[in-house]
Structure 1
Amino acid sequence: MVERQERYAYTPLNHGEIRLLYSATEPNTDEVTWTLRAERLLRPEGEPPLMYDALSYTWGDLGQTYPLTCGGRELQIHKNLKSALPYLARRESSLPIWIDAVCINQADDAEKAVQISMMHQIYRQAEMVWIWLGALQIGPEVLALLQKLIAIGPELASVYRLGNTCDPIELGLPAVDAPIWQQVAEIICNKWYDRLWIVQEAALPRTVRFLCGATAIPWDTLEQVTEMYLEITHGLKGPGGARLPLRRGDQHTVFLIRRREQTSSEQTRDWADHLLSVLCLTAGKHACYDPRDYVLGLMGFIDEVRAKELAIAESRTWSLAELYTRFTRALLVKADLSARRWWTVIHEASATNKTSGLPSWVPDYHNMHDESHKAPLDLSVQVSVKRRDGLKDKASRAADVAKQSPENYRMLIMRGKAVDTIERIFDDIPDQLVWRYGFTDVSAAEGLAILWRFADWERKVRMELLGPDLDLVESWPDDPSMRPVIGKDGIALDDYWRTLHGNCLDRRDLRVTYRDHCAALLAIPRWLELLDQEVQWEEEMKLKGEDSSGQEFPLSNEDQATMALSKPGGPILTLICAAHDHLYKRKLFSTTSGRVGFGPARIQPGDVVCVLNNAFVPHTIRRQDKQNPNEYELIGETYVHGMMNGEVEDLNVPVEDFHLV
């Protein structure tokens, strides 16, 4: 019977100290012995720096622990670290190594807090940070394949840009079902990329290297392969459209943040904008055990002076809602209001089912990765990326900002103009999820039914909004100045149909006009009739004993043109896809002043449409208290036709301060 060793007892650390793990291999044996020693990380100027490596890894399953003998006593570690230690002992370095699970006394909360606050210094000062991807048996053929992917990158990018695919064999790569692709997947789709804390662990050090079992892989190799992720996953397909076994992730953010961190200095960049950028890249994409870490895990990207400006030193005593609120307010006040990422934070705050106690303008960082909590796609990105008409890309360019209230950290004061009030809200666009997650998984019959439901919905909305006397007129000119302004509430037809598609009608080099819009919707009933006739024709051919596979269903020239409208990339699918893209999780509305737009699904009649200073798009807000008329709840980003490109600057509307709570 093996005698159980005495439990390891940590001795307290002095100010500026960390523990390092030393390894030694016993003579004439492969057995490794481990010891922990306290060392001074923070040293006076002129004294030689502490030399050590550090480990970045995921803890993995916390439900089971394993013993580690350290200095003749027993520590408990988790499975992922247990598998890493034998390889770390034989890595290409003789330096001691810092590993959070054993170098920090996990049972001492006070020590943990101090050591976590030092982690940015620990990783910055390390000679090498080793990234553990697991005990993978990676041979030279895998490294050769990674280099081959890098070499054919330009050719593969060309295939992807054209919307084409090719079999890997045609490019001299292994077949889609070759086992080696699974090994590649274990490297570039590793769970290590998913964790929040690894972002700073990879971004801050001078030198980093991946470790897969005994095989070291340079950072640059995986960075270049990951940059080709879309080309690899979408451009390479086998017989029957078989895909490679690669899952979609946010690996690229880890490489992007390190590149930004290493190519700029704290002296040359704006610290608040940099932190805001890291926040937008990580929240909702990288997971952590403690939701507080979505804030605390970012503190390594700024120095102690800047951290004090955020005033979260006492955050251990705050609730999660208070931490998120104080951090967000302090960061938004310091950051550049004109930057798109500033408004990305405001946009994410409009998600539903947020943690209790959060003001309307504060995102729930912990739940941003949960589809059920997500806000719609960032409207400012949807609109500006697709706009090709040369217009301004912001709803407001007014730069003046409101003074914040020092007494109420739960309030964010925004300056802007109230331009309208929502009066009427229309039915949801049908079949949102089918279009959101792909139209290819439905049967032909269901596909026809979906098209019919869309046409029926569009006609109902059009009649309610513009009046029963208006119907589709395909012969009307495309120039809006040549078409009458028709609508029972003074709403122009041009405003309506452009709002329906977010005024973004360039898709795959196909410019959709109003005539296309009419022709597509008018063609749907005839298209459905023709498809039914084709089915009947095939059945009749079978009854006659004739093979229809080599023959085409006879169509007149007019009907051939009708069927062409429904082809992939044609007007029908282009229009419907554009409408679903913009109306997913949103509702169409009209206003008291005769405007039309769409906004978050929870908008209500009486909500105020405003254009906040420097905002990319308008926003909807809701008055909270008659006793405090300036207090509003933020509802979210809103599209209002005629208010997207700086038109608010020409309106004779007073500027006011909105107190968002």
Structure 2
Amino acid sequence: MQLAARHARLSILFPCSLALPHLGKRFDPALGWHSYRSIPSQVFRSQRGEKTHTGFNPFCRDFSTLRYNPLDSSQSTGPFIRLLELHPGGASSQVEASLKEVSLSSELEYEAVSYCWGDPKDVSTILCNGQQLHVPRRLKVALRNMRYLDRTRMLWADAICINQSDNAEKESQVQLMRTIFSNAQRTLIFLGDAEEKQTHKMSKFALRTIQFGLSIFKRRVDLLASPQVRVWDGNDGRCRTVAPFSYEFYLELIGMLRMPWFQRAWVVQEVAVSAKATIFWGSSQYDWEDVIQSLKFMSQFNFPLAFIVTLENISTIEEERTFYRKGQNRLNGVLLRHQRCMATDPRDKIYSFCGLVDTSSGHHNPVRISYEDDVGTIYREVALKILGEDQSLDLLSRPPSLAGSRMNNLPSWVPDWSISSASTLTYAWGHGPLSLAGAELPSAQETPRFSASRGAKYSPKLSGADALLVEGHQFDKIVEIGPIFEGVQIPHTVRSLPEIAREWKRCLSTLYRARNLFVRWQQVADVRSHGLYITGETMREAFLQTLSAAEINDSERVRLELELWDKGTSFPFGLMYSAFVLVRNFLTNRPFLLFEIQGRYALHRRVVRTQGGLLGLASHATEVGDEVVICKGSSVPLIMRRCGEGEGEGEVRLIGDAYVHGIMRGEAFDDDKCQNILIK
């Protein structure tokens, strides 16, 4: 009775937490599984003669394993799912549970679990329906710590509730993911248990540095306006509040935001559609909204963020929640915004985001889910779907990545979504589009910055199996290229003094390379000449416009950053000046280290000059002799390379998009010159 009364009081004090297992004991949430992939299993016949599958993993076949019965596929009562009824138990006793088949259309009360698998070979067993079921070890740890002492708990966890050995079931259940997570009372996000949290301990030097910096900075922060973060401590069973710039919460963020959960593809949808979400980190629990509000508050200040990783991962997940609730998503935009994410099965780089696009209006047709088809077939099919629905070639405008496609049979016009374009270059909270065409913007904000083809529409046409037929004309040819900008790597490891030293050494090394690259780019652009560009600007102004893709006039922050680079290359002791600029701006989070230049348009690109004397910013793969082509339906010029002899009907390969200063508003487009072009 005393335990139940205490439980009730704590539930009132801390309603944001739905998990109060093992009161008075240490709570160790663990990572779980997030990959919908096939793993071979033994197949048996049930007593009814139906084909059934053993659960999860082939590594341990000596156990009597759980056999999945097919889900009810009748349409009269709606789709069916399985829920996991977690049995009560102590901290060290066997994990036991039961699987229940329920109709998703009925009124259900359950919590959905969002987690990251880890090593696929690191498996363990639980008792499910009285039989052994192989599950990821970290999932077992999570379930052990989630269960109540005196009552059952209803959960949905993908690795158990979906028969991972049955592709047909996976395909049907994946289409229900949005409904499963949106109908749940809460999504429980497991980042790591207490043991894993201990691995993120830092040296005394790093801790004292952070503590000293926070003590000075807090004097400049209006503490009355600071949001409060509620935290449930499973060690003492109490709820308390902490401030965003408190030493305790800042250390929590350093470890929390480094966890691989934030980089997984499936978690974006799981959080975006959820009514509420709770973060489990070690023995602490945080409300998602509290963490988001605190990070937004912290990002307003010029704070030395040397000891915190980029906020890009968590900010893009939160932004997706906003876009989803407003119904503003297009498939191409969603896929572009989350190209950074990772998935074990490359097909999930598509499937994990399909639920974020509203298909009820009829304008967007659902993506066909198939784990039997090869990846290339899926990617090609989705590319054609996007081209047809958008009536645009902006699918071809993508942020370049140095990681080349490993799919040799993929046509050049089909994006390889398996490439994860993650970056640890910045600390920005949110950002603008990464592609020149800006396809990442939600549909309600669709105001193209550029219109190289004057808004001409495009209807997709195929020639043969793989060639995309477009209409356009060659405008110019590349005659000189600069080196590739790979960014300035900012320090982000702070656990020990040697690690900090190595990170700073790498940072200064990449700065030195970037400074030399900037000088070479200036030479390609001939910025020291006294001539004028075709737009009437000085060559220096045209050069800066090119580096920022014409955003220099719209953003004071961009102009400041470009001027810092320009000054760092204008004096005999430019290298020393550049190092000084880096340290000064790094310690104050000045514009130099923000996202605007190196993380937006210049990263993995090179400055180019055309035969006609125009300056451009093009993909790293661009070579001398490549052609600048303007196509109907494309907001930006495209770089193409001829595959064979001949003009007009000749076949080409797409190299990438480009910003070419002076022709981005349709100045060079001529409808009469357009011819058929086959992109292989």
Q: TM-score range by the shorter chain?
A: 0.5 to 0.7
Q: Aligned ranges for residues 83-102 of structure 1 at < 5 Å?
A: 83-90=141-148, 96-102=154-160
**Residues 613-632 of structure 1, C-alpha deviation per residue, up to 9 Å, x if partnerless?**
45443222223344672532
Quote the offset at 1:361 in angstroms.
2.0
Partner of 1:353: 404
Q: Secondary structure at the match of 1:258?
A: helix
Instruction: Identify which of 543, 549, 552 aligns with 1:499.
Output: 543
Q: Which amino acid aligns with 1:99?
A: A
On the 8 A contact 1:491/1:596 being kept in 2, the answer is: no
**For 1:49-64, what aligned pairs fall within 5 Å after superposition?**
49-64=107-122
Which amino acid is the alignment partner of residue 78 of structure 1? P
- In structure 2, the CA distance between the partners of 1:485 and 1:312, relative to structure 1 (3 Å rule), is closer
- The alpha carbon displacement at 1:235 in A equals 0.9
- Structure (1 or 2) with the larger CA radius of gyration: 1
State the partner residue of 2:651. 631
- Gap change, CA 1:332 and 1:648, over 3 Å in 2: same
Residue identity opposite 1:524 in structure 2: F
Q: Is it true that 1:648 corresponds to 2:665 in the alignment?
A: no
- Measured in 2, the distance between the counterparts of 1:565 and 1:110 equals 57
Match for 1:49: what amino acid? Answer: E
Pairwise mapping of residues 105-504 of structure 1 onto structure 2 (< 5 A)?
105-136=163-194, 167-168=217-218, 171=221, 178=247, 181-212=250-281, 216-228=285-297, 230-231=299-300, 235-236=303-304, 243-246=306-309, 248-264=311-327, 269=328, 273-284=329-340, 286-302=341-357, 313=368, 315-335=370-390, 337=392, 343=394, 346-348=397-399, 353-354=404-405, 355-369=407-421, 378=434, 380=436, 393-396=449-452, 398-405=454-461, 408=464, 410-422=466-478, 424-428=479-483, 432=485, 457=520, 461=524, 494-495=538-539, 498-499=542-543, 502=546
Name the aligned partner's letter for residue 637 of structure 1: D
Listed as ranges, the gaps of 5+ residues in structure 2 are 1-61, 74-78, 197-213, 224-241, 425-432, 442-447, 492-502, 586-590
Q: Deviations over 1:141-174 (max 9, x none)?
A: xxxxxxxxxxxxxxxxxxxxxxx99534665799
CA contact (8 A) 2:476 2:629 kept: yes
Tell me the equivalent position of 2:678.
659
2:596, 2:157 → 1: CA distance? 50
- The change in CA–CA distance for 1:637 and 1:495 in structure 2 (over 3 A counts) is farther
Deviations 1:566-607 (A, max 9, x none): 9989xxx99xx9998976644444434444434333334443
SS at match of 2:355: helix
Decide whether aligned partners of structure 1 residues 349 and 528 sit closer, same or farther in structure 2, where only a CA change above 3 A counts.
closer
Cα deviation, 1:387-416, whole Å, max 9, x if unaligned, reads xxxxx9424363332332256463434444
CA 333–227 in structure 1, closer or farther in 2 if over 3 Å, else same: farther
Inter-partner Cα distance in structure 2 for 1:510 and 1:17: 52
* C-alpha RMSD over aligned residues: 5.2
In structure 1, distance between residues paired with 2:288 and 2:510:
46
Higher helix share: 1
Match of 2:128 in 1: 70
Q: How many angstroms does 1:515 deviate by?
A: 13
CA contact (8 A) 1:350 1:634 kept: no
**Are the counterparts in 1 of residues 649 and 677 from structure 2 also a CA contact under 8 Å?**
no
The one-letter code matched in structure 2 to 1:402 is Y
Residues 396 and 656, structure 2, Cα contact 8 Å, conserved in 1: no
The question of whether the paired residues in 1 share the 8 Å contact of 2:268 and 2:317 is answered with yes
Q: Is the partner of 2:460 in helix, strand or coil?
A: coil
Do structure 1's residue 607 and structure 2's residue 626 form an aligned pair? yes
Letter in 1 for 2:654: L
User: Residues 450 and 606 from structure 1, CA distance in 2 versus in 1: closer, same or farther, beyond 3 angstroms?
Assistant: closer
Identical pairs, percent: 20
Give, in whole Å, the separation in 2 of the partners of 1:278 and 1:255. Answer: 13
Tell me, yes or no, if the aligned pair for 2:614 and 2:661 is still in contact at 8 Å: yes
- Within 2, Cα distance between the matches of 1:25 and 1:299? 36
* Cα distance in 1 between the residues matched to 2:110 and 2:244: 43
8 Å Cα contact 1:209-1:217 kept in structure 2:
yes
TM-score (norm. length: structure 2) = 0.64
State the secondary structure of the residue aligned to 1:621: strand
| 1:528 Cα deviation from its structure 2 partner | 7.8
- Residues of 2 paired with 1:31 and 1:305: CA distance? 45
Q: Which residue of 2 aligns with 1:158?
A: none
